[in-house]
């Protein structure tokens, strides 16, 4: 894995977004009077929130091998799939299918609208995943210290290694992959090349806050809004960074337990949904994070 101190691609992105990055205080995202609201409880350990094109949120209860759906309009929670091989990470692809990492089964699968699964890759250490616009899948394997890439209809391959990759996401343009490092107070960015190859690894988002009671930031799941601000789950709360990688502050956790993952959802994609140990919470904010498959093509 190549680790460059500063890359041309990040310099270009910083230049393009510098106008939007000015004075991006956390207070501009928060709404007065809005706080975390409890959406679902009684779980063992929640993870992997993913939004479909309509803003419905899917999440997992890992120990129970269950996937649930939160309805965008009512926030009613229903069971979507059972016996999921202890699924952890979830993500929707441009094909409308739900992609899932199955930790116990050591495989990556898709689910159709009726909850029927199709196996895409086997014998792979999995934790979290994201899907690019072409249907390629990036998978973090924290135990194996690897990031895998599964091309559409192709064989899996290692595209980054020798660190502890955890949560991951894509920039809005789809050309840069962000990966959390469980052991370090920074987030990696990689330029995406042909056939899913990664290059120009950089410690772009830094520094992450670390509470006095912790030795590591506990960086896990993350998401980005429509103008490139990044939100990452950590021990210190939901930390926000501007598009140039500068820290903007942290939103307090909804409860003291472990904060694992975050996603924008709701009918207008203006609500942050977080999985926090045994519960799922939601908070409306003054920004949006629209998934690519929900965006209307430019005329």
pLDDT digits (tens, 9 = 90+) for 25-35: 999 999 999 99
Percent of the chain at pLDDT > 90 equals 88
Confidence of residue 296 (pLDDT cuts 50, 70, 90): low
- For 191, the domain range is 8-80+164-294
Position 139 in a domain = no
Residues 6+ apart with CB under 8 A from 171: 13, 177, 178, 189, 224, 228
Evaluate whether residue 134 is within a structural domain.
no
Backbone angles phi, psi at 292, to 5 degrees: -55, -40
User: Tell me, what's the pLDDT at 49?
Assistant: 98
12 has a pLDDT exceeding 80: no
Residue at 130 is within a domain: no
In a domain, 187, yes or no: yes
DSSP-H helix ranges across the chain: 8-21
CATH code: domain of residue 65: 2.120.10.30
Number of domains in the chain: 1
How far apart are the C-alpha atoms of 127 and 87, rounded to whole Å?
9
Q: What is the pTM of this model?
A: 0.91
Residue 293 is predicted with a pLDDT of 83
Closest by CA position to 18, among listed 30, 10, 7: 10
Mean pLDDT of 226-250: 97
pLDDT tier at 23 (50, 70, 90 boundaries)?
A: low
Per residue in 84-122, pLDDT (tens digit) is 999 999 999 999 999 999 999 999 999 999 999 999 999
Kindly state whether residue 287 falls inside one of the protein's structural domains: yes
- In a domain, residue 44? The reply is yes
Please say if the pLDDT value at position 206 is more than 70. Answer: yes
The structure tokens listed for 102 are 């199955």
Is 201 among the domain residues?
yes
Q: What pLDDT, on the 0 to 100 scale, is given for residue 292?
A: 86
């Amino acid at each position: 894995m190549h680790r460059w101190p500063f890359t041309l691609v990040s310099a270009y992105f910083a230049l393009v977004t510098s106008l939007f990055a000015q004075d991006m205080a956390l207070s501009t995202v928060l709404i007065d009077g809005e706080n975390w609201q409890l959406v679902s409880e009684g779980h063992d350990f929640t993870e992997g929130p993913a939004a479909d094109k309509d803003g419905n949120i899917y999440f997992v209860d890992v120990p129970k091998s269950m996937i649930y759906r939160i309805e965008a309009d009512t926030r009613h929670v229903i069971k979507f799939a059972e016996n999921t091989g202890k699924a952890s990470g979830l993500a929707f692809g441009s094909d409308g299918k739900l992609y899932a990492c199955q930790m116990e089964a050591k495989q990556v699968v898709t689910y159709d609208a009726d909850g029927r699964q199709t196996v895409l890759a086997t014998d792979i250490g999995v934790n979290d995943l994201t899907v690019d616009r072409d249907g390629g899948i990036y998978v973090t394997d924290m135990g194996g210290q690897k990031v895998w890439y599964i091309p559409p209809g192709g064989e899996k391959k290692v595209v980054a290694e020798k660190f502890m990759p955890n949560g991951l996401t894509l920039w809005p343009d789809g050309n840069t992959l962000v990966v959390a490092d469980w052991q370090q107070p920074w987030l990696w960015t990689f330029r995406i090349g042909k056939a899913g190859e990664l290059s120009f690894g950089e410690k772009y988002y830094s520094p992450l806050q670390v509470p006095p009671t912790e030795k590591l930031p506990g960086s896990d799941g993350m998401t980005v809004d429509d103008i490139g601000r990044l939100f990452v789950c950590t021990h210190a709360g939901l930390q926000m960074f501007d598009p140039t990688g500068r820290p903007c502050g942290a939103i307090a956790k909804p409860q003291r337990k472990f904060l694992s993952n975050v996603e924008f959802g709701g009918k207008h994609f203006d609500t942050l949904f977080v999985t926090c140990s045994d519960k799922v919470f939601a908070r409306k904010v003054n920004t949006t994070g629209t998934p690519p498959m929900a965006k209307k093509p430019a005329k």
